[in-house]
Amino acid sequence: MDKHIVFKGNKLTRTRIKNNILRIYVQGNKYQENDWYQDAHRYAQYLSEQSGLPTIVTSGIISALSPQTAWDYNKRIALQFVRDKDCGQTNANKNKAMQIYNSGFDIDTVKRILNGNKTKSFFDNIFRPANSNAVTIDRHAISIALGRRCKDNEQQLTTKQYDWFADCYRWVAKQLGIRPSMLQSITWETWRDVNNIG
């Protein structure tokens, strides 16, 4: 892992990112016993029971419909999709969900359909929460790492930038002795509280 990266014209060090992540983590005492991705996996299982689809497919559908949506809304539209094959999302995301519905019976196929780094990681974290080494780097994870709300242009990451931020979360998680996805979810929930994000 590189010790620093140039990000949108600014040099970031992994030590600075680590300190920013830890600052939010220590504020999140009430979330440190939560396993958010295990809960998300249980919701994917619920969708599986409702639809007769395998959990790998319902996890992929949740992820395909996740961009720019709050978690409660994401759950509602995923349930609507498995029931009606339609929901309140963009056509591009619904098309991905439909492709997964029709052919997403192995991890590589689902990830190929999802294509994006964030949605692939989100799927992996939901589908196999206990074993995933992926980190979902969304706008909140970026903000936490930067120590401030990220700007719109900072939400667009190259694969190299995405991987570097994910590696920073993995590095901190290893020091804390927890899964990277758990660190990301604890800091995400804490960040929402601290910043009054619904």
Q: What is the 8-class DSSP label of residue 43?
A: H
Of 96, 105, 91, 97, nearest in space to 78 by CA: 97
Percent of the chain with pLDDT over 70: 99
Domain boundaries, the chain: 4-34+134-194, 36-127
Mean pLDDT value of segment 94-116: 96
User: What is the pLDDT of the chain when averaged over all its residues?
Assistant: 95
Question: Given this model, what pLDDT does residue 2 score?
Answer: 87
Residue written as tokens 């997403």?
104
CA distances in angstroms from 37 to 8, 41, 181, listed in the order given = 30, 6, 7
Which pLDDT tens digit goes with each residue over 18-40?
Answer: 999 999 999 988 888 889 999 99
Give the separation between CA 59 and CA 115, rounded to whole angstroms: 15
Give yes or no for a contact between 25 and 171, defined as CB atoms under 8 angstroms apart.
Answer: no
CA distances in angstroms from 50 to 46, 81, 101, 145, listed in the order given = 6, 11, 14, 37
DSSP character string of 58-92: HHHHHHHT-TT--HHHHHHHHHHHHHHS--SS-HH
Which pLDDT tens digit goes with each residue over 115-161?
Answer: 999 999 999 999 999 999 999 999 999 999 999 999 999 999 999 99
Mean pLDDT value of segment 64-87: 96
Question: Given this model, what pLDDT does residue 32 score?
Answer: 84
Question: Given this model, what pLDDT does residue 30 score?
Answer: 84
Phi first, then psi, for residue 11 (nearest 5°) are -85, 125
Mean pLDDT value of segment 174-194: 95
Question: Given this model, what pLDDT does residue 196 score?
Answer: 77
Residue 198: pLDDT band with limits 50, 70, 90: low
Residue 15: pLDDT band with limits 50, 70, 90: very high
Question: Given this model, what pLDDT does residue 197 score?
Answer: 75
Of 143, 196, 139, nearest in space to 23 by CA: 143
Give the separation between CA 129 and CA 140, rounded to whole angstroms: 19
Of 119, 129, 134, nearest in space to 38 by CA: 129
